[in-house]
Amino acid sequence: MLNVISEKIEREELNVFCVDSADHESWLNGDVHPYEKVMRHVAYEQYILDEVLPLIRGTNPSTQLEVTGCGLGGYHAFNMAMKHPDAVTGCISLSGCFDVKPFVHGYYDNNIYFNNPVDYLPNLTDRWFLDRYAAMRIVLASGEHDRLLPQSARMSAILNDRGIQHLFDVWSDDLEDGWPLWRRMAVKFF
């Protein structure tokens, strides 16, 4: 992914910080109760807020900060942007997963609700959040053969219903989701 945007990085037009996920300890961990999955996710989010974002801001405090990811990474980026619009200026979700309920097998609590954008965004009426979303660049991109396209379409409809401006970009080609398609998207959006 970095190779396709390397010229912008070399020209210092773009700074990139790559943060590993904890998905195999949280959403994808089949060996723990769903409560443990969501609590591990909450701890991961706190790590991003308390350690990663201050590190990034310390390198260039006046820079715009957009979050991005692919698949579950697209979920992390989007969920972070929606929950913490004061911390980021935009979000680019490539083939994003926006519904974590399949990972928790029927378990549901407030932690799931507030980390599941398809649940909390339709109910959001707080002007503080909505005003910040209005100033944000939000991109949802998927391929037409992407297995997560229905989730992106659903999220786009939710954003439209809430009056949240965004770009929903569906790529028409023979590539399914995955790195070849995401690399092409990176060239366009970065």
Q: Which of 50, 182, 37, 51 is nearest to 116 (CA)?
A: 37
Q: What is the distance in angstroms between the CA of the first residue and the CA of the last residue of the chain?
A: 11
Tell whether 117 is covered by a domain.
Answer: yes
Token couple for 167? 């770009």
Q: How many Å apart are CA 140 and CA 170, to the nearest integer?
A: 8
Is 22 a residue whose pLDDT tops 70?
yes
Tell whether 87 is covered by a domain.
Answer: yes
**pLDDT, tens only, 32-56:** 999 999 999 999 999 999 999 999 9
Q: What is the pLDDT of residue 181?
A: 87
Domain range holding 161?
A: 64-189
Nearest 10 degrees: Cα torsion 52, 102, 177, 77: -20
Nearest 10 degrees: Cα torsion 65, 69, 73, 74: 90
- Residue 127 belongs to domain with CATH number: 3.40.50.1820
Tell whether 135 is covered by a domain.
Answer: yes
Tell whether 35 is covered by a domain.
Answer: no
Domain count across the chain: 1
Tell whether 68 is covered by a domain.
Answer: yes
**pLDDT, tens only, 91-147:** 999 999 999 999 999 999 999 999 999 999 999 999 999 999 999 999 999 999 889
Tell whether 129 is covered by a domain.
Answer: yes
For the entire predicted model, the pTM comes to 0.94
